[in-house]
Amino acid sequence: MPRVLSHVELGAPEGSAGRRDPQTEGRLSYVEEFTSFVLGNPDVHARQIRSLTLHWNAIVPLPPVSKGHVEHIPSLVEVIRHASNLRKLNISMAESLFELSAALFDVIVSHDRLRTLELTYVSEKALALLAGMKSGLEEIALEGFRDDSPFDFACLRPHMATLKVFRMRRFQTMRSPRVGDVWGRVHTLELHKCHDYLPEAVTSLPRAFPHVHVLSIRTLWGQGVSMPPIAWPSVKALELSLVCLNLTTPIRFLRLDRVHGAGLPLQFFEHLQPSALTLDMHRSHWLPRVQAASSLRTTLRYLQLQSSEITWLVDGQSNQLKKLSKLRLRALVAISMCTYVTDYAPEAQESIARHLVAFFPSVKLVGFGYDKSVSGALHFPPTTWYRVGRKPKTKGADGVVIEAALPTESATIIEYVENLIGRAK
């Protein structure tokens, strides 16, 4: 039983078929059966639970709220109370559940062994829970703020000595962390889907999070406003979408999604000097900045190009590739294509690889992969690699040999790229 009970999920994940029909008869019966089973011998069964997820319809806190939906809350509270080895808790519709049950709020606040807390649909009570918790959390993820109030980092103060990962998604805006508030152990900081542009708050982050290695900031409505220069020496992997972060210290990995050229500093790439770089080929605002970065000739070893259609990229946007090739990226070892939905036969991949090698003659490996839109993923490793060989040109042949690479041959470059991005701990 320990393996069965160690990771428990109750309810239907968002986006599943169950979400469309929350009133299905029997949907909640297994919640009742589970709590009855655990509470039948809590000293044994509850202690085996290390991870618990309450999906949005494990208890449906949406009007109309029937008695049948709410009656399971006290049993779940008792399960959590007895789960002394619980380390990870994930709650959807958190704010509504805390409003329905003060006991649920209290049992989580008093839990002293939690390490990871993920809350979806949050507001005052959820933030008050963070501010009042006894256990110092190592990872916090908040998603979907119910109101427009700016997020205040003060609620994270109880976790200053322990917090390592902080993720926040779908929020309106945030206040600058107060002077003196420092989360010195945080190595991963992700701020996604912010509705308002927030240059002042962002420029204060290096002071509050001085040892971040992986930084990802994605807003919904960028304004192309240039930020003042920021020195953040600890950052090694950086992802930006609609944010013109003027970082002046070198990094190892850079992923640019959507960028406003008006706000991106001209010396952006010259300052960052990335060894690995992912670019969105549908938007070329970054091109003049890349062309102005002479340092990329000697620092860039891996280049990933994002496009919904590889053939369209190669055939229709060759002008961009030609401009990139003029940089003479002599340190470039590998290049990969990252698509979204389209699959390509090996023959087509070999043809595209040959086309790319004509632009980047130093490349030894060409990869093909897919953007899986995984939360928290900065890089999507190619699933297929091709080895590039060269031999003397002959009549009717360009001297380039494209062959499918063995996993052992491409493992080195995959390991290299993953180390560049590496989730430092």
Residue with tokens 């926040």: 168
d(C-alpha 145, C-alpha 123), whole Å: 6
User: Dihedral (C-alpha) 203, 208, 212, 218: value to the nearest 10 degrees?
Assistant: -40
The reported pLDDT for the residue numbered 424 is 40
d(C-alpha 238, C-alpha 251), whole Å: 8
- Residue 196 half-sphere exposure, CB side, CA atoms within 13 Å? 13
100-116 burial by CB neighbour count: b if 16+ within 10 A, else e? bbeebbebbbebeebbb
Percent of the chain exceeding pLDDT 90 equals 40
What are the contacts of 128-131 at 24+ separation with CB within 8 A?
Answer: 128/155, 129/98, 129/105, 130/155, 130/156, 130/158, 130/159, 131/155, 131/157, 131/158
d(C-alpha 174, C-alpha 424), whole Å: 26
Percent of the chain exceeding pLDDT 70 equals 82
The reported pLDDT for the residue numbered 44 is 92
Task: Encode pLDDT of 294-337 as tens digits.
Answer: 888 899 999 988 876 665 555 545 677 788 888 889 899 889 88
DSSP state of 397: B
Q: How confident is the prediction for the chain on average, in pLDDT?
A: 83
Number of residues that make up the chain: 425
pLDDT at 56 over 80: no
Position 1 confidence tier, pLDDT thresholds 50, 70, 90: low
The counts of H helices and E strands in the chain are: 17, 16
What ranges make up the beta strands (E) of 231-301?
237-241, 253-256, 276-280
Position 22 confidence tier, pLDDT thresholds 50, 70, 90: very low
Neighbours of 77 (CB within 10 A): 19
Read off the pTM.
Answer: 0.88
The reported pLDDT for the residue numbered 162 is 97
Task: Encode pLDDT of 66-120 as tens digits.
Answer: 444 577 889 999 999 999 999 999 998 899 889 888 999 999 999 989 999 999 9
Contact 120, 93 (CB under 8 A): yes
DSSP state of 230: B
The reported pLDDT for the residue numbered 19 is 46
d(C-alpha 80, C-alpha 72), whole Å: 13
Task: Encode pLDDT of 143-197 as tens digits.
Answer: 999 888 889 999 999 999 999 999 999 998 899 999 999 999 999 999 998 887 6
